[in-house]
Amino acid sequence: MKMRHQVLGRVTSHPLAVSWLIGAISLNGIVLYILKTEFGTLSVFFTFPIVLRMLLILAASSALGLFAGVFTVGPILFWLFSAMNGAKCKVGDLVVVLSGSYRGSVTRIYEVTLGQGGGKLFRLDLGEKAKENYDDLFEPYSVAPAEERVEQIGRGNE
């Protein structure tokens, strides 16, 4: 049970990467499907120059998958992952940081503010240097209530 939550927390703290992966897989699947229906079988493509071209096409469609994923499933994943992790946290709650250079740190929320896009941001008590440099700002998907996850992360900086 511990390992499942640790892996889930690590995955849900990176919605941009997950949306890119979904977009890339989807676009690559569409490209391969179109090629298969156009030529009937993919076995035609297994010569060295054609394989290199196919890899180039799949690399390009993977890069385009970033945009496709971010604009289609991205907003849903940002909302979903925030709801799964720290969206219900409030000032004074003990949280664990799930991503970034402070990953594994257990600290308290001292302020909830709005970001430039109007989304909720947490300011965490990570010391004066982090406060001065605004390194203490975290999205709700980047933190989780510590009561549930302290033992899985390894107690952090309690």
pLDDT in tens, 6-34: 667 778 888 889 999 999 999 999 988 88
The domain boundary, picked from 32, 53, 79, lies at: 79
Q: Which among 57, 79, 101 is the end of a domain?
A: 79
Structure-token match 């940002």, residue found: 78
CB distance 78 to 120 below 8 Å: no
Q: Are 74 and 22 in contact (CB under 8 A)?
A: no
Q: Is residue 105 predicted with pLDDT exceeding 90?
A: no
Number of compact structural domains in the chain: 2
pTM of the model: 0.72
Average pLDDT over residues 109-131: 89
Residue-wise pLDDT for 62-94, tens only, equals 999 888 898 999 999 989 998 888 888 889 889
Same domain, 6 and 74: yes
Whether 75 is in a domain gets the answer yes
Same domain, yes or no, for 64 and 101?
no
Please give the mean pLDDT across all residues of the chain: 82
Place of tokens 């970034």: 100
pLDDT at 153: 46
> What are the structure tokens assigned to 14, written together?
């990176």
Same domain, 74 and 93: no
Residue 2: is its pLDDT beyond 60?
Answer: no
Together in a domain, 47 and 96: no
Q: How is residue 12 written in tokens?
A: 């849900």
